[in-house]
Amino acid sequence: MNRHFNALNRSYLRACLLGFSALFSALAIWVPPIDKEVDVMDVMFVIDITQSMNVADMRYQLEAVNRIMWSTEMVHDVVQEMDCGSHVGLAIFSQHRSLVLINPVEVCKNYDVLVQMLAHIDGPMAWELSSEVSKALFSVIKNAHKIKPIPSIVFLTDGHESPPLHETIRPKFTGTPGVVSGLLVGVGGDDLLPIPKRNKQGDVLGVWDVKDVLHQDVYVSSRFNMLGADKRVAKTEHLSSQKRAHLRALAGIVGMGYISDVQKVQTLINAIKKEATTHPQIIKYSLAPWFSFGALLLLIVAYYPAISRKKRV
């Protein structure tokens, strides 16, 4: 009698499994994609292309590269990993301001364009030799307000100010910290290294000499009475290292994050995700994979040999 029940139960069970499997397959076919909210970012990458960024003290995939090259490669890798629906813009920094090359565009549709543009970014694009990092950062933030929606800023720089800043007289940030979110990515090592001198064509013409650059800010240089105090300072402005303390302080002033010594792309992506403002975007999300998973699972159970064996008397 028990055995008869089993035979009947088994048939029932399999009929049910097959039935639901068929139902799930039908749902996979006829249930339309649903709206789903995903968090996407709008990021404006700003790459420092001033002379100090020509110092080759970075490593990208085991190769020694200069700071500009490292920055463009990193941005390239980040862009590659970003979710569709996110927007990326590119800007460069020279003199005391940034120049936006392209406003944020959707990454998946415009991936090729972004990659081609990144490949163009290099030292010769700089229109002036000076490198006023603080002012440039403030100008980036100002420009960001003119773009809708306001992008988060990822600013890749070594923090080398040329001409140097006075300890107390610094450019003022007039905005509200944190309104434009972002991240300063410190580029460059800790050793003071000579800076290659490049001309408009990009050729290297030796290095910057101690006599070529200002070692004090313009304000002090013009005031005789303050000059004496600064005279003892070692003249190192023709050499360059990453100015960590300065970058950390700048990040604090504008309410952004600061990261340096980035080895892996994922580290940078995580840092950007942590700092960047995300906004929800509706995407079409298909449930078909879930239905097919269900249908397949039921079918496997229906034909799994153990069912029969277990019930065997």
Closest to another protein by CB, 226 vs 287, is 287
Shortest Cβ 212–another protein spacing (Å): 21
Burial class (CB in 10 A: 0-12, 13-18, 19+), 307: middle
Gap between the Cα atoms of 234 and 215, Å rounded: 9
**C-alpha to C-alpha distance for 210 and 213, rounded to whole angstroms:** 6
Write down the least CB distance from residue 7 to another protein, Å. 5
**Residues binding another protein (CB under 8 A):** 4-5, 7-8, 11-12, 14-15, 18-19, 21-22, 25-26, 28-29, 89, 91, 97-106, 109-110, 112-113, 116-117, 120, 124-125, 127, 139, 143, 146-147, 200, 288-289, 292-293, 295-296, 299-300, 303-305, 308-309, 312
Q: Peptide bond before 194: cis, by omega within 30 degrees of 0?
A: no
In the complex, the smallest distance separating the C-beta of residue 283 from another protein, rounded to whole angstroms, is: 15
**Mapping DSSP to helix (H, G, I), strand (E, B) and coil, where does residue 198 land?**
strand
> Distance (Å, rounded) from C-alpha 30 to C-alpha 146?
44
Smallest gap from residue 13 Cβ to another protein (A): 10
Backbone phi, then psi, for 62, in 5-degree steps? 70, 0
Nearer to another protein by Cβ, of 285 and 293: the residue is 293
Of residues 30 and 224, the one with the C-beta less far from another protein: 30
Kind and range of the H or E element at 43? strand 34-48
- Residue 228: exposed, middle, or buried by beta-carbon count in 10 A (0-12, 13-18, 19+)? exposed
To another protein, the closest distance from the beta carbon of 50 in angstroms equals 15
Of 29 and 210, which has the nearer Cβ to another protein? 29
For another protein, the closer CB: 265 or 288:
288
